Amino acid sequence: MNDVIPAPRAVEGPMRCGVELDAETTLWAAPGTDATERWLRATLGAALGLPLRPGPQDARNAVRLLLDDTLEPEAYKLGVVVNRGIEIRGGGAAGVFWGAQTLRQLLGPDAFRRAPVRAGRTYGIAHQVIEDAPRFPWRGLMLDVSRHFMPKDGVLRHLDLMAAHKLNVFHFHLTDDQGWRVQIKRYPKLTEVGSWRARTKFGHRASPLWEEKPHGGFYTQDDIREIVAYAAERHISVVPEIDIPGHSQAAIAAYPELGNTDVIDTTSLTVWDTWGISQNVLAPTDNTLRFYEGVFEELLELFPADAGPFTRFSPFSGFVHIGGDECAKDQWKRSPTAQARIRELGLADEDELQSWFVRHFDNWLSARGRRLIGWDEILEGGLAEGAAVSSWRGYQGGVTAARAGHDVVMCPEQQVYLDHRQAAGPDEPVPIGYVRTLEDVYRFEPVPPELTEAEARHVLGTQANVWTEVMEDPARVDYQTFPRLAAFAEVAWSALPAPAERDFADFERRMAAHYGRLDALGVAYRPPTGPLPWQRRPGVLGRPIEGAPPNV
């Protein structure tokens, strides 16, 4: 019985007979499949102790990689045929790679290790043919490295975990009030000052607990280039986020002139050490615009629109996320400079001032062949022309944007914010938000039913978001993210029925095998029976919300 996650579209078999991989198995790769060829030898070959030497295409004991232009770019056909070996056909290089990920799952948990644990063993796969293709082109994971920094090796590991689940867009949340994480050479204080804070709130912002030690870190420009190249080899687009005009206290602490200096003494600000929405936002001045244009100039070089073979069919590596969410307007209301700018531009209010700010960078990015995407607050005061929307406050922002002809990524917090707690029990560590169980995530539907067929075509896909305010180390990130990311990946990839009709019992059956893969990968997931003793955080205040989340 097949236990692949995400569930493939069609499976013929499996049958009792099959194919065995051993030291004599060869690997033949057609032109255009070189990234998967490298991955198979470096990852699968290393895990199983198989050299996968080059061999002829017609060898009986061979793995063959081919491109097939009759398939969609990310579609694949995986055939395991007795006396013919294993063949993976993909509509594009990415399709071949996703087929290789399925092959890895068919080989069992040993294939997910970094070195062989059973030397000399052969690995059998039952005779079968799998045909598969994704439902959505945008299958994303957002990782917040601003609240708690994740070193580069951890980011690379998460890219591998994304690839293992056929996710293909990495939304890289690089800046916020609590830390600036990317080196900008023309503005060195962004990392010299903005990348670390003196202490950190432990738990929810109402918690009385503090971790009284500095926290910080940032990625050098070469680190970023490495991350982008590593992602491209795995057919993952990286979408960087630089928050403007809110969530910017770390930048203002580094360069006080960016803040509303006519309202507060911005020279007294430090990188924020607690959670919530900071009132310290960017000033709507020409100086601020020029400063961030300089930031984006360096950023576009680090995140090129053509980052590798993946971008031959996907535009997502050309996106730049500018945040735009939770911009407190109090300082603008009290700022003579901001009010003068509103009058100068003939704007109605502070919401339209934020829209002007967003439109400026939409035009600036468009002129350089890029696309702006922002959280659904960019709808306030008028939607920026050409912008796409990450609909996070529920479905409504996405519905409004799609009806206006704008592309949407659905990531409603009530459904797919993985920082929300996984159960109602008292042992959940730092419980935040609504209860979102594995089954809840599995029954998430990204396309709102009120959209027409034409409007629904603007839904690029969906994304799970991992906010790290209460995730103080990588193990906590693992706990909150897994196993729910496996359920989310199936929602994003597979052609599932309506939520109420989905076979969660079958998914649980397949998860029983998938936990073994996660174990082999060293993922500190939440066990089905609840948190292990060391995963709990007794006495640390959270912010649980009772009841079912609203469907808004």
Residue range 491-504, pLDDT digits in tens: 999 999 999 999 99
H/E stretch holding 425 = none
Average pLDDT value over all residues in the chain: 96
Choice among 13-22, 72-81, 354-363, 420-429 with the minimum mean pLDDT: 13-22
Q: In 10 A of CB 173, how many CB atoms?
A: 24
**What is the pLDDT at residue 201?**
97
- What are the tokens at 265? 């003494």
Instruction: Confirm if 7 and 494 have CB atoms less than 8 A apart.
Output: yes
Question: How far, in Å, CA of 511 to CA of 530, rounded?
Answer: 15
Give me the catalytic one of 176, 472, 478, 490.
Answer: 176
Choice among 1-5, 295-299, 544-548 with the minimum mean pLDDT: 1-5
45-49 — which CB contacts under 8 Å span 24+ positions? 46/114, 46/115, 46/116, 47/110, 47/111, 47/112, 47/113, 47/114, 47/115, 47/116, 48/21, 48/107, 48/110, 48/111, 48/116, 48/121, 48/123, 49/23, 49/115, 49/116, 49/119, 49/120, 49/121
Give me the catalytic one of 127, 158, 165, 247.
Answer: 247
Q: Is 326 a catalytic residue?
A: yes
Question: How far, in Å, CA of 413 to CA of 398, rounded?
Answer: 13
- What are the tokens at 180? 């600036």
Instruction: Confirm if 431 and 419 have CB atoms less than 8 A apart.
Output: no
Please write the tens of the pLDDT for every residue from 95-150: 999 999 999 999 999 999 999 998 889 999 999 999 999 999 999 999 999 999 99
**What is the pLDDT at residue 308?**
55
Q: Which of 398, 524, 484 is nearest to 141 (CA)?
A: 484
Q: Is 132 a catalytic residue?
A: no
* The amino acid at 405: G
Cβ-Cβ contacts under 8 Å for 498 (sequence gap 6 or more): 445
Instruction: Confirm if 240 and 176 have CB atoms less than 8 A apart.
Output: no
Please write the tens of the pLDDT for every residue from 56-77: 999 999 999 999 999 999 999 9
Q: 322 φ, ψ to 5°?
A: -110, 15
Give percent above pLDDT 90 in the chain. Answer: 93
- Model confidence at 241: pLDDT above 90: yes
Residue, of 306 and 33, whose pLDDT is higher: 33
pLDDT band (50, 70, 90) for residue 519: very high
Q: Which of 220, 192, 302, 288 is nearest to 248 (CA)?
A: 288
Q: For residue 211, what are the β-bridge partners?
A: 200
- Model confidence at 467: pLDDT above 70: yes
Q: Is 173 a catalytic residue?
A: no
Give me the catalytic one of 24, 226, 326, 349.
Answer: 326
